[in-house]
Structure 1
Amino acid sequence: MARFEKLLYPALCANNINSPCPSKTSKANNACSRCFLVVVSLQHLDRQSPPSCSNQNQNSTAAKNVKRNIGPRTRRVDSWKPGWHTEGREPTFFTQDPSEPNTNEGKISWWGTMPALDLLKLDGNEGQDAPPKIRILLASSHDIRNMVETIARLPDTYLGQCEIVMNGIHSGIFARNIILLLIAFNFRPEDAAPIMIHLWYSALIPAPVLAALQSKLQPLVRKVCSEAAQKCALQFFKWGWKKNKASLHVELPINEWERLRDYLQVPGCLSAATAARNRQEVTLPTNRVDLLHRSLYG
């Protein structure tokens, strides 16, 4: 198993015989009848097993899971109704003057609202007649989802050159794009994938991931900052990296290179609870529950 693969596939006590629990731990054999997501093992274990893996604890865990899964989220799809229907009230999106302001107004959306698109689809379009050099411009782009999808879907038979140019307007999102691409350039694919997924979506980054980023990427960015400092007369500074037949070129204002370096450090004022709350305010805002229910019901 790759060094970071366990971050994607954690070995859970009751679910995996390869978990750190004693060898007597068995595979899970009972799934929650409501959500079918949580699976536990209710078989009797050896008496030498620690309390955390005991049969009593597993029964307790299963009972708690059943209790948690009794609610509107786990009802049958054909019987579920939006919250405003079951509560007998008017949905908030019908209210002209909502009681609570939109707390997300003016905030940056770090996660898009649509799946990644293959912008070329060479297999279904040009196919074998594709030109030897393809150029794509992603103007005022958000994240790199479409870039990643397009490159990943290039046919193995395509031996030409694909050049993609991106620019952006929000320094934070663009810095994350650069860091994600540097991860792809400097880690093995089996290590890069879980690191990129955590950096893209997680509110909290595992300590091994942060240590790896700081040990491999910080020296690269520091070198660029050092070179840029000697070109203080320039407004923009360009740097490039190469790996095999691929290359990555980044052009930023000189002060943005320093901000990129700082993004690889955890802000001292940002606690884990604050990070989780900031993410939840975007993904699950309480004042937009009715909008979410409308989407689910539709």
Structure 2
Amino acid sequence: MSEVEGMDALSQEDRPFGQGISLWGNMPAVDILCLDRNEGRTGSSDRNIAFVASGDLRNVVRTVNGLSEDYTGRTRILMNDHDGFVTIRNVMLFLILGQIPDKRRAVDIAVHFWYSAFLPADYEAEIFAIVDGLCASWSGGTVHIRLTETTKLSCDISPGCYELLKMCRDSVYTCDHAAHEIEKIRFAPSRVDYLHKEFYPLSPSHRLSFFHFRKSGILLPCAAPTERFTSPNRFLFLPSGDWILSDGSNPLEAWDIPTFTEVGAAHGARSEDLYGCLYFYLTEELVKFATRLTRIKLDIAVHNEDAIQLAASLPPGARFDRVDVSNIMDRSYVGIKPLVHAWGPRLSDSPHAALLGYFMNWRVFDDEAAAPSRNGYKRLLDRLLSENKVPPVREAATVYMEGPTAVYDNAHAFERYLKCEGMDACLATAGLRRRRTHRMTPHRLNAPLAGSPHDLPHFASAEDWYLNAYVGGALWTERFVEIERIH
């Protein structure tokens, strides 16, 4: 089950335009081990973690990069997604980073494979060689690959995934067709109002940055040459040549914007060049990740199953220190009770073991309380203006933004929603409970990690507010839960 918005719960006019398959995360990456607040950063204890509805690779990257340099234990990572495209792209990213000898080149190929609609021809050739090797090694069962001297990869994925790999490799649409397809989706006349609403609150330089990426489809600094990018990235298009993602899909949403703009500045990129900053940040993160693949003992198992069926198919003794279920606890997807019954028993006996999930679409079922009313919105906006948290040049744009929802306390409404869903009763039956003090993620984006459910998101400055509330794609009604055993 890939990480997507609740399509079934949205009205037709609010649905994204295009295929709508979610290949890029729409929430900032999370380290689900967060060892500082749990087992401790150092030591030799082994860790077992599961990403049961993984979406893309970002949480795995953040979690592995969060391990200390002197960590000597073995980390076993189970990674699963029901969507075939999501699965094959994650497998390919592991292979690119692990099998291409020149790690700097491997990282650059990985960045563009992940986020760019076009690739240099020599990058495409290396990617196709990896596809050929993977398909040749499959004989109907699990494929075991020695990724590096310390990292093993096993792929227990469906025959349909291998067929999809071959179909993408063998597709014949042209670069011109791919460019037309992106133009058709990202600049559709029927979506011009949505495009204007997205651009309106941005500073002029950020509008240019957004436009440049939408138009070019290539994740690079704005002034970087793109003449070499002459091949479509055939893993961002259907084999027929149709663009996979929705018109609003944006890689900025998957990473912490203030952090990657700081990293970009250290590489000489200006904060106005958002995608250039993200390029340098991802390069740093993937260099670190690729290095960890060669130094830390990792066993990575990739699956392509329904999350509930996967839990039932694991060996009876399989237990995990962390289980990340993403947003499939939402009523729009699997729901609370099936996930608790399937994955709650899979938590280890460690006092630090926890299941992490978040709710994106609960506001659809309790919209009057999840977000401020019209009058409440105006009061919150007036308050933000008085606190100089809304830059004056952008005041008029706030009518289009979710920003004021960030300073609205919806904890009581969320509790009411969870009670209606029967969460606490379900957890108690399973010998589980919600953590009131979180150790991996805050209750809400940008709120204090160890704060209460009522704590509001914190923004250090007007610029921090702008980057999060205007440039970022959060709804600010998203809420996280951490679940642990009752000891």
| TM-score of the two chains, using structure 1 as the length reference | 0.56
Q: Which runs of 5+ in 2 are unaligned?
A: 1-10, 202-399, 402-465, 471-487
> Is the contact made by 2:32 and 2:63 (CA closer than 8 Å) also made in structure 1?
yes
* 1:220-231 to 2 correspondences below 5 Å: 220-225=133-138, 227-228=139-140
Partner of 2:484: none
Say whether residues 1:250 and 2:116 are aligned partners.
no
Partner of 1:126: 39
Partners of 1:105 and 1:263 lie apart in 2 by: 19
Partner of 1:241: 145
One-letter code of the match for 2:113? L
Partner of 2:55: 142
Partner of 1:181: 94
* Superposition deviation, residue 286 in structure 1: 2.8
Secondary structure at 2:164 match in 1:
helix
Picking from 268, 274, 280, the partner of 2:173 is: 268
Shift in alpha-carbon separation, 1:287–1:106, aligned structure 2, 3 A: farther
* 1:191-206 to 2 correspondences below 5 Å: 191-206=105-120
Shift in alpha-carbon separation, 1:122–1:102, aligned structure 2, 3 A: closer
Shift in alpha-carbon separation, 1:278–1:151, aligned structure 2, 3 A: farther
Fraction of identical pairs, as percent: 25
Cα offsets for 1:108-158 (capped at 9, x unmatched): 122222221111122453225656210111111211100011112210010
Partner of 2:431: none
Partners of 1:247 and 1:142 lie apart in 2 by: 21
Secondary structure at 2:91 match in 1:
helix
> Is the contact made by 1:120 and 1:150 (CA closer than 8 Å) also made in structure 2?
yes
One-letter code of the match for 1:107? G
Partner of 1:154: 67
> Is the contact made by 1:132 and 1:161 (CA closer than 8 Å) also made in structure 2?
yes
Picking from 80, 98, 103, the partner of 1:167 is: 80
Partners of 1:101 and 1:147 lie apart in 2 by: 31
| TM-score of the two chains, using structure 2 as the length reference | 0.35
Shift in alpha-carbon separation, 1:258–1:197, aligned structure 2, 3 A: same
Partner of 1:207: 121
> Is the contact made by 2:42 and 2:70 (CA closer than 8 Å) also made in structure 1?
no
One-letter code of the match for 2:125? A
Secondary structure at 1:114 match in 2:
coil
One-letter code of the match for 2:143? W
* Superposition deviation, residue 101 in structure 1: 6.9
Partners of 1:191 and 1:183 lie apart in 2 by: 10
Once superposed, which parts of structure 1, at least 4 consecutive aligned residues long, lie more than 6 Å away? Answer: none
Shift in alpha-carbon separation, 1:171–1:279, aligned structure 2, 3 A: farther
One-letter code of the match for 1:214? F
Partner of 1:259: 164
Shift in alpha-carbon separation, 1:265–1:152, aligned structure 2, 3 A: farther
Please identify the structure whose Cα radius of gyration is greater: 1
> Is the contact made by 1:140 and 1:169 (CA closer than 8 Å) also made in structure 2?
yes
One-letter code of the match for 2:122? P
Q: Number of matched residues? A: 189
Secondary structure at 2:153 match in 1:
strand
* Superposition deviation, residue 199 in structure 1: 0.8
Secondary structure at 2:124 match in 1:
helix
> Is the contact made by 1:136 and 1:165 (CA closer than 8 Å) also made in structure 2?
yes
Partners of 1:278 and 1:181 lie apart in 2 by: 31
Shift in alpha-carbon separation, 1:101–1:114, aligned structure 2, 3 A: closer
> Is the contact made by 2:44 and 2:73 (CA closer than 8 Å) also made in structure 1?
yes
* Superposition deviation, residue 193 in structure 1: 1.0
> Is the contact made by 2:18 and 2:185 (CA closer than 8 Å) also made in structure 1?
no
> Is the contact made by 1:139 and 1:168 (CA closer than 8 Å) also made in structure 2?
yes
Secondary structure at 1:264 match in 2:
helix
Cα offsets for 1:52-90 (capped at 9, x unmatched): xxxxxxxxxxxxxxxxxxxxxxxxxxxxxxxxxxxxxxx
* 1:37-48 to 2 correspondences below 5 Å: none
> Is the contact made by 2:84 and 2:160 (CA closer than 8 Å) also made in structure 1?
no
Partners of 1:110 and 1:255 lie apart in 2 by: 18
Partner of 1:286: 192
Cα offsets for 1:19-57 (capped at 9, x unmatched): xxxxxxxxxxxxxxxxxxxxxxxxxxxxxxxxxxxxxxx
Shift in alpha-carbon separation, 1:272–1:289, aligned structure 2, 3 A: closer
Partner of 1:112: 25
* 1:40-79 to 2 correspondences below 5 Å: none
* 1:64-103 to 2 correspondences below 5 Å: 102-103=15-16
Partner of 1:41: none
